[in-house]
Amino acid sequence: MIWPLIKGLSVTFKYFFTRPVTMKYPEERWEPGPRWRGRQQLLWDEEKGREKCVACCLCATVCPAQCIRVEGAENENHEKYPKVYEIDLNRCIFCGFCVEACPVSAIIMTGAYELAEYERKDNIYSKEDLLKEPQLPGGAEKAQTFNLETRLISK
Amino acid sequence: MIRLTVDDREVLVEAGTTILEAAATSGIRIPTLCYHEKLQPFGACRICVVEVEQMKGRLIPSCSTPVTEGMVVRTRTEQILKARRTVLELLLIHHPLDCPICDKGGECQLQDLVYEFGITQNRFKDQKSNHPIDYVSPLVERNTNRCVLCGMCVRVCDEVVGASELSMVNRGIRTKITTDFDRPLDCEFCGECENICPVGALTNRQFKFKARAWEMQTISTVCSFCSTGCAIKLCVKNGQIARAVGEPEGGANRGSLCIKGRFGYEYVMSPERIKRPLVRRNGKLEEATWEEALQTAARGFKAIKEKDGPEAIAGFCSARLTNEEAYLFQKLLRTAMGTNNVDNSGGYAHRGYSPGLRESLGVSPAVPSVEDLRSSDAFLVIRSNVSETHPVVGYQVTAAVKQNDARLIVADPRRVKLSRLASVHLSHRPGTEIAILNGLARVILDEGLEDREFLAGSTEGLQGLKKSLEKYTPAFVEQATGIAGADLKQAARLFASGEKGVIIISAGMGFGGDDAALARCAANLAQITGNAGKPGAGVLFLGEKNNSHGVVDMGAEPDRLPGGQRIADDAVRQRFEKAWGAALSSKPGRAAEEILSGAEQGSIKALYCVGENPLQTYPDSRRTKKALGNIAFLVVQDLFLTPTAQMAQVVFPVTSFAEKEGTYTNCEHRIQRLRKALPPYGETKSDGEIICAVAKALGTDIGPPAPEKVMAEIAGLVPRYREVTYDKIPVKGIMLDGAGKNGNEQGKSEALPPRAQLIPVDFVAPPAPTAEYPYVLLTGPLLFHSGSLSPRSKGICVVCPEAFVEIGHKDARALDIKNGDTVAVTSAKGSITIGVRVTAKQNPGSVFIPYHFAQPPVHELTDGSQPQVVVKIEKRTP
Ligand code: SF4
Ligand code: SF4
Ligand code: SF4
Ligand code: SF4
Ligand code: SF4
Ligand code: FES
């Protein structure tokens, strides 16, 4: 009768001497791993002075949650650019398909995982929002990002 | 018949079939890049190669090799696949492969083939092609870097469209598709080249970067412009039309479109459209609720009916209404309002060919179908600039001439596009067409070229006709029309020698002789040459607007009930009275012209204008303005606040063709369905819904506006439509009785003679130019526009933004006028100021002004009682 009690408590006491797995969030913050898929970022092409995205709509087409809206248009250099690029993060399932589908590597996934907002509409990211590098949660200077290269290495 | 084996399957086909077509009949697909059923085989791409047992040692292009007896064909051996892969690799050497930004991506044949053959790398390497991209040409963008040199654009523009704008220049790998001296396109802008291009080398500029092929919803419907009734697909993304393409299943057009159909839909999304009903309060039109507008309309009509009787009310409807709406409209006027004063635009400005054709050929004459025109071998195009008014019918004529060597006779006072292809161009004085037709008939009878068997078996009145033609000797015709006797004779012989001859006439030319008489004359000539009752032969009369033929069938005429049945006929009237549960007046109503003169004299007090804009589109606009100003109660129903709508007491906003359902009947009497692609704009309602609501406000029930219900009612009352079931109308439409079929099936409802009538018609000379007014004014349509609707479409206005007067070189020199000058054109009725285009199209003595534009108002010059007017021209600016 006492034996099972000791057995149980021994497990409890064993954990007194191991490192805790939980973290004192938000005082402490977890550092995302190299293949972490947080909110997307659209990349800027410094050379051409424009967004890398060419509004091919492949990300929007492949997105299983159908949360990406892209509307293409012609810029003054007759190039195709996304007049509207919107991701509804309320619906995004962070699968990373958009990153895989992009033929010009214009979209990556960052370490940003703190995405709670008071209102749903604030979680619909516009092109301007997505072009900004996200504020990363404490710790990491710059989180690893999920892009085509990291995906390939991990394979 | 020829028997051959394709991939171990026995195939039996006609001689002259190609291997590709033979394989297709047994369901074997051979990939192609440069083949199109509309075009002659070309054999440029070599994707379609096959092996033929009898021609061992080399690969045979299947698209351009005819079958022979006992051929043994293989379409997918290892060697063939290897050859196809190599062809694709060679094509990809210079190809930019910018699929992500290419508007053809997703529907590109090169993409599909590369995917099908699994080409992931290329054994050959070279620089990517680097031609400059043409961003200047309107509507069509050229990026020849993506071109695979299939030649389809060049061929469709030449063989079908007849514009011959594009060609291949240079040789070998430096070949490219361009115009002479690499200038921007200056053509018809039909977009056929862009549509046929298998890759993204030619693309639709209006559609540029708007959507990817797979993102759009496509809705098959009917073009809203001319009576060819091309089936189109509207591609919709986010509640906006992104583009329009031809529906390959379409009946009349088989996927072809003209500029209006392809680029002209934009008026639907114009911000100028009326959103809410308008009611005049204290002299100003102000927005109102539907309830208020309907009640105001009903009160106004009721007051006038009580005070001045039903005869003081009249109605105009546009030939752009659907069949159901036109039917409801005349039912509303005839039952709820109790008047027969109802007419459509076709009945006014052009006096309607239909009465003429009806007398000669019966209520539902056999009409050659547009598709069959390709098999016809002789054409007489008279008083019809068909390449501009009905471009897709023009394509068929062009294809018949270019691909099948058909004979073409064009009678036109202007040098029009088809004149270039014609064996004979009869350049006559405007308004003398009847003399030409009579002259042709006389030459044919004199030389014994007539079809005697047909005349004896199927017609009546030959003796009377012969007698009436006595005076039309070539000499008389020459004096009346200005056409040399030798030309007339040659034309007569050419036309009579055809097996399947077609006479094409069209409404909406806006000038010239009496249409009903011309129609009778044309019918006579067709009967004399035996061109009736066989496919691809007869008289093809082209109404101006998309439903010109339908609204006439639906009884939007003062003296006829639906189906062309006479209102004065007691039996007919009783049948309708029973069906409608209302007493009908037996007195034929007033036609449009009489309605306007009635308004002038004060006997017409109320007018209901559905989709009509008489102020801009009817002759003699000063008089029209006066007449409309006299009308105490004017109700207008339209998409835009037109000049007529601005005079109204009540304006109802309507939905456009893309926002409603219904049916249209085209020039070959094919009934086709409109399908809704967009939600109604603002608070608009369809014409049918409004008409029914007005009836209800007047306290009468004319039935629900739902098209399927209305069509069921029509089918019960109009013999020609008896087999039409709304829900069963396929994408390619249904040919109504008599249309495109063998035999001259007569209307069954009316006691009509069993035979076609040869009715003599005499020629009356049109008003001749005088010393004061030395030029004949021709008003008419342009290729780029249709009615007064298309100037509201942006894309079309890039190509053709404003009105002009066309003057021939000789007259221009005499008047010392240059291109771009401004002149005053003055007739006995009025005067307008307008820019000049000096052109070789125009003969001395006549000038031309298109009638689509609101400014300057060309109808201030015209005169409703005269087929054409004479004008003088004075230079305004240096
Ligand atoms: S796949 Fe890439 S280029 Fe295409 S729309 Fe998405 S982010 Fe832009
Ligand atoms: S033409 Fe076809 S293959 Fe070439 S870039 Fe466009 S979509 Fe891609
Ligand atoms: S738009 Fe029509 S007319 Fe112009 S080049 Fe193309 S096919 Fe020819
Ligand atoms: S432009 Fe298009 S249609 Fe014309 S040859 Fe090139 S690929 Fe063919
Ligand atoms: S305007 Fe006439 S010819 Fe042109 S696409 Fe429309 S229906 Fe066809
Ligand atoms: S399809 Fe036969 S050669 Fe191009």
* Helix (H) / strand (E) containing B92: helix B78-94
For residues B556, B561, B566, B570, the Cα torsion angle rounded to the nearest 10 degrees is -150
Average pLDDT score over residue span B630-634: 95
Which residue do the tokens 């002479």 mark?
A: B180
Residue A103's closest chain B neighbor by CA?
A: B100
Whether residue B212 and residue A73 make contact (CB cut-off 8 A), yes or no, is no
- Token pair recorded at residue B84: 């196809």
Which pLDDT score, from 0 to 100, does residue B740 have? 39
SS3 for B652? strand
What's the DSSP call for residue B333? I
What's domain B2-76's architecture? Roll (3.10)
Q: Mind listing the pLDDT tens digit for each residue in B518-532?
A: 888 999 999 999 988
Greater confidence (B61 vs B57) lies with B61
Residue B826 CB partners (closer than 8 Å, separation 6+): B773, B861, B871, B872, B873, B874
pLDDT at A148: 64
Residue B748 pLDDT > 80, yes or no? Answer: no
B534 vs B87, which has greater pLDDT?
Answer: B87
* Contacts by B87-91, CB closer than 8 A, 24 or more apart: B87/B45, B87/B46, B87/B47, B88/B47, B88/B113, B88/B114, B88/B117, B88/B119, B89/B119, B89/B122, B89/B123, B89/B124, B90/B124, B91/B148
Interface predicted TM-score (ipTM): 0.84
Domain at B352-542, CATH from 1.10.260.40, 3.40.50.2300, 3.40.50.720, 3.40.228.10: 3.40.228.10
- What is the model's pTM? 0.91
Residue position matching structure tokens 């290729």: B783
Share of chain B above pLDDT 90, in %: 69
Mean pLDDT value across chain B = 90
Taking only the tens place, the pLDDT of each residue in B598-621 is 999 999 999 999 999 888 888 888
Query: What are the boundaries of each domain within chain B?
Result: 2-76, 127-269, 278-347+549-730, 352-542, 775-875
Confidence of residue B408 (pLDDT cuts 50, 70, 90): very high
Signed CA dihedral, B791, A76, B184, B128: sign only: negative
Å between B244 CA and nearest CA of chain A: 18
Contact B409, B379 (CB under 8 A): yes
Q: What average pLDDT score do residues B537-552 get? A: 88
Which ligand is closest to the CA of A42, given by its number? 1
For B837, the enclosing helix (H) or strand (E) is: strand B831-839
pLDDT at B749: 32
Instruction: Answer yes or no: is pLDDT of B47 > 90.
Output: yes
- In B, minimum Cα distance to A56 occurs at B100
Interface contact A72-B211, CB threshold 8 A: yes
Average pLDDT of span B121-133:
92
Q: CA–CA separation, B508 vs B385, rounded Å?
A: 10
The C-alpha atoms of residue B835 and residue B826 are separated, in whole angstroms, by: 14
Res B70: pLDDT? 94
Structure tokens at B599: 């308004």
Rounded to the nearest angstrom, the minimum Cα separation between B210 and chain A is: 6
Cβ atoms of B66 and B17 within 8 Å: the answer is yes
| Domain B775-875 class in CATH | mainly beta
Indicate the fold that domain B278-347+549-730 takes in CATH: Rossmann fold (3.40.50)
Spatial separation of the C-alpha atoms in residues B702 and B44, rounded to whole Å:
61
pLDDT of residue B136: 93
pLDDT at residue B147 tops 50 = yes
Using the predicted structure, report yes or no on whether residue B752 has a pLDDT greater than 50: no
Confidence of residue B753 (pLDDT cuts 50, 70, 90): very low
Checking if the pLDDT of B783 tops 90, the result is no
In angstroms, the CA B64 to CA B534 distance is: 31
Which atom of ligand 5 lies closest to the CA of B253? 8
More confident residue, B633 or B782: B633
Per-residue model confidence (pLDDT) at position B742: 34
List CB contacts (< 8 A) between B99 and chain A.
56, 103
pLDDT tens profile B499-520? 999 999 987 665 545 577 888 8
For residue B228, the CA-to-ligand 5 centroid distance in Å is 6
pLDDT value at B853 more than 60:
yes
CB contact under 8 A, B212 and A57: yes
Lowest-confidence range among B272-286, B813-827, B847-861?
B847-861
Please identify among residues 77-96 of chain A the ones whose CB lies closer than 8 Å to any CB of chain B.
Answer: 78-80
B323-357 pLDDT, tens per residue? 999 999 999 999 999 999 998 875 554 455 666 77
Cβ neighbors of A29 (< 8 A, separation 6 or more) are: A23, A137, A138, A139
Residues in chain B whose Cβ is within 8 Å of chain A: 99-101, 105, 133, 135, 208-212, 214-215, 238
Q: How far is the CA of B92 from the centre of ligand 2 (A)?
A: 10
pLDDT of A36 reads 85
Per-residue pLDDT tens over the stretch B224-268? 999 999 999 999 999 999 999 999 988 889 899 999 999 999 999
Give me the tens of pLDDT residue by residue for chain A, a chain 155 residues long: 789 999 999 999 998 899 888 888 888 887 777 788 899 999 999 999 999 999 999 999 999 999 999 999 999 999 999 999 999 999 999 999 999 999 999 999 988 888 899 999 999 999 999 999 887 766 555 555 676 666 554 43
d(CA B26, CA B24): 5
Question: Rounded to the nearest whole angstrom, what is the distance from the C-alpha of residue B250 to the centroid of ligand 3?
Answer: 21
Closest atom of ligand 3 relative to the B139 alpha carbon: 1
In Å, how far is A34's CA from the nearest CA of chain B? 29
Q: Please give the distance, rounded to the nearest whole angstrom, from the Cα atom of residue B182 to the centre of ligand 5.
A: 29
Give the minimum alpha-carbon distance from B678 to chain A in angstroms, rounded to a whole number.
19
pLDDT of residue B741: 40
Q: List, in order, residues 6 or more apart from B117 with CB less than 8 Å away.
A: B81, B84, B85, B88
Find out whether B253 and B620 touch, Cβ atoms under 8 Å. Answer: no
Determine the Cα–Cα distance for residues A131 and A129; give it in Å rounded to an integer: 6
Q: In the predicted model, what is the mean pLDDT of residues B686-714? A: 95
Please give the share of chain B, as a percent, with pLDDT higher than 70: 95
**CATH code for B127-269?**
2.20.25.90
